Structures are given as C-alpha cells and as structure tokens.
Amino acid sequence: MPHRPFVIVLALIFAIGVPMVYKILKDRAAESLRALLAGRFDLRPCPVAEIAIPSGGHVLVHSAYIDTLGSGLVLILGNRVWTLAKGGAYQRVAGLFKPGGDAAWAERFRKQQDVIAAAAVKGGALVIWKGLPSGESILAHIEAVSTGETKEAQ
C-alpha cells in the first residue's frame, strides 16, 4: 500500500502541528498581555468574583488591574467555564469594568461583536469579550469602550 506512509505523515502533522501552532499563539498572546500589564496597569482587588453568561456558563474572575493612564477602567481577567456532563471546559477571557458605570453604559456594548456579557454589577458595570486575551485585543477593547464605538455582531 503506497499511500500508507503518506497517511501516517499526514496524521503526525495534525497530531503534532496543530497543538504546536496553538501553543505558539497562546504564548505570544500571553507575552503581549504581560508586557501591557507591566507597562500600563497596576494590580488591584477584583471588583466582582463571578459573572453569569446569558448564553450559558459563567466567568470566574481571577485578577483585576487599574489602568494607570487615567481611563478609569479596570481590566478584569478570568476563565469562562462551561459545565459539561463529565467536567467542564475553560476559556481565558478579558473584560473591562467601569466603576460607577450603569446598565445603560453596559447596554451600549451588549451587541458588540465577541461580547459574551455586559451588565451592571455592584459598584459599576462591565463588558466581557470572548477570545484569548492579548495586549492588542485589550487595547482594542479599551479604545472601543473609551470612544463608545460599537461594532454590531453580524
């Protein structure tokens, strides 16, 4: 069977290559996030511990950082958790908390592309986006929230 070695090589590429590509992307995102946190944010107590996601699951917030450039926003980082029949699935997420923000502020961003939660909570309002947090994505979220720009989900 001449095609057997080809199938084996193809299987190895998928078995090793796909996880390697994901790890590289994850490491790059983590490094850019670390650089952004070191240069622009200071650690602070989390304003909220857990947020329910309307489409299912919840976000467990593990850290919060205040923006030292004066935007007044607090970056929150956490893990989105879906409960499955045999355990759960986790995805890292990031969001922005606006101290003193209200439901109207959060509502402006509810239908924005990639928003998984936008709500008023005790002490303010927050917006959480799906996707692996990176320095670039955090800056884009801050820009969108600061300018009030809303990109509607398609």
Tell me: pLDDT of 71 over 90: no
With the CA atoms of 99, 121, 42 and 111 taken in that order, what torsion angle do they form, in degrees rounded to the nearest 10? -90
Q: Among candidates 35, 153, 137, 38, which has minimal Cα distance to 92?
A: 137
With the CA atoms of 86, 24, 77 and 119 taken in that order, what torsion angle do they form, in degrees rounded to the nearest 10? -70
Of 3-12, 64-73, 84-93, 102-111, where does mean pLDDT reach its minimum? 84-93
The residue ranges of DSSP E strands in the chain, in sequence order, are 41-44, 50-52, 58-67, 74-84, 87-99, 115-121, 124-129
Residues near 55 by beta carbon (within 8 Å), at least 6 away in sequence: 116
Average pLDDT for the chain: 87
- CA distances for 65 relative to 75, 81, 121, 143, angstroms: 5, 21, 17, 16
In the block, which residue shows the tokens 């989105």?
Answer: 80
User: Whole domain around residue 75: which residue ranges?
Assistant: 36-147
Q: Tell me whether residue 74 is in a domain.
A: yes
Q: Tell me whether residue 139 is in a domain.
A: yes
**Cβ contact 66:74 at 8 Å:** yes
Region 78-99: mean pLDDT is: 83
Confidence (pTM): 0.80
How confident is residue 85, by pLDDT bands cut at 50, 70 and 90? low
The token pair that represents 77 in the structure block:
């980082």
The token pair that represents 69 in the structure block:
């450039």
Domain count, the chain: 1
In the block, which residue shows the tokens 């998984």?
Answer: 116
| SS3 label, residue 45 | coil
Residue 154: predicted pLDDT: 41
Q: Tell me whether residue 18 is in a domain.
A: no
Residue 98: predicted pLDDT: 92
